């Protein structure tokens, strides 16, 4: 993942604008935001260039600017580099928050995170058709996860980041991030089996049939 600072015609004046804006100069704040907007937008577009959820560009940019204004009095940045580091950390946080809120509308994107815990799933050619009956159960399991676990799965399976990139985001090593994700996958796979076996009502039989088919694939490989 790239962490380079956005370039801007206003870059040289950022420290002055920052100091004036913190002192309450409304005009300086407007100029600072005008200089910040293109950099944040470009950063997010690079970050989600190949992402299924790239429609979050505008929302994430707007939420970032709102938080910049709200927290500017507490910002300790002095140089342009420090300011951009602070701004882009906010942008990453807002993008993750919006992604997390969106995961439940895109359960199929996270389905592999659980199904990889089922050995048979990786051998199925048409996983999508087999997963469909399980999506409601998967959504329930994902909704129970805390933010950190949702982010771990989202970074890997929604944003499709490398383990090095995931590790940087969550503050650990690539090996530790991978182990953490694998443990979570196996736990979710176990909970999926339990939930499907206990399911009643419409869709329960289809879910059980889909799970059985996936598990049979593992025994025929």
Domain boundaries, the chain: 11-103, 107-219
Kindly state the tokens that stand for 93: 């946080």
- Report yes or no: 189 and 215 within 8 Å, Cβ to Cβ: no
**How does pLDDT run across 83-100, given as a tens digit for each residue?**
999 999 999 888 877 776
| For residues 132-143, average pLDDT | 81
| Helix (H), strand (E), coil (C) string for 100-128 | HHHHCCCHHHHHHHHHCCCHHHHHCCCHH
| CA distance linking residue 177 with residue 123, whole number of Å | 24
Task: With 0.75 as the threshold, say if the pTM is over it.
Answer: no
Of the candidates 78, 219, 98, 68, which has an alpha carbon nearest to the alpha carbon of residue 158? 98
Phi, psi of 106 (to 5 degrees): -135, 50
pLDDT band at 108 (very low <50, low <70, confident <90, very high): low
| For residues 120-141, average pLDDT | 68
Residue 219, pLDDT score: 47
Q: Of 123 and 156, which is predicted with more confidence?
A: 156
- Report yes or no: 100 and 154 within 8 Å, Cβ to Cβ: yes
Phi, psi of 53 (to 5 degrees): -100, 30
| CA distance linking residue 145 with residue 148, whole number of Å | 8
CATH of the domain spanning 11-103: 1.10.1740.10
| For residues 131-156, average pLDDT | 82
pLDDT band at 151 (very low <50, low <70, confident <90, very high): confident
Cβ atoms within 10 A of the Cβ of 6, count? 19
Tell me what percent of the residues of the chain surpass a pLDDT of 90. Answer: 33
Q: Does the structure show a pLDDT above 50 at 72?
A: yes
Q: Does the structure show a pLDDT above 60 at 158?
A: yes
| CA distance linking residue 143 with residue 38, whole number of Å | 34
| CA distance linking residue 148 with residue 165, whole number of Å | 15
| CA distance linking residue 55 with residue 57, whole number of Å | 6
- Report yes or no: 137 and 199 within 8 Å, Cβ to Cβ: yes
**How does pLDDT run across 40-67, given as a tens digit for each residue?**
999 888 876 655 556 678 888 999 999 9
């Amino acid at each position: 993942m790239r962490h380079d600072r956005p370039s801007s015609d206003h870059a040289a004046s950022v420290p002055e604008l920052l100091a004036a804006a913190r002192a309450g100069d409304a005009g300086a704040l407007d100029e600072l935001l005008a200089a910040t907007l293109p950099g944040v937008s470009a950063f997010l577009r690079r970050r989600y260039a190949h992402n299924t959820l790239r429609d979050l560009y505008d929302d994430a940019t707007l939420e970032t600017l709102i938080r910049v204004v709200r927290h500017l009095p507490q910002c300790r940045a002095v140089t342009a580099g420090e300011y951009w580091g602070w701004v882009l950390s906010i942008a990453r946080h807002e993008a993750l928050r919006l992604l997390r809120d969106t995961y439940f509308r895109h359960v199929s994107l996270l389905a592999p995170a659980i199904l990889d815990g089922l050995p048979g799933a990786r051998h199925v050619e048409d996983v999508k058709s087999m997963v469909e009956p399980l999506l409601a159960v998967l959504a329930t399991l994902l909704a129970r996860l805390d933010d950190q676990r949702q982010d771990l799965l989202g970074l890997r399976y929604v944003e499709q980041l490398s383990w090095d990139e995931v590790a940087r985001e969550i503050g650990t090593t690539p090996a530790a991030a991978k182990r953490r994700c694998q443990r979570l996958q196996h736990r979710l796979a176990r909970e999926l089996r339990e939930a499907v076996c206990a399911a009643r009502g419409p869709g329960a039989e289809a879910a059980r049939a889909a799970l059985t088919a996936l598990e049979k694939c593992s025994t025929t490989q």
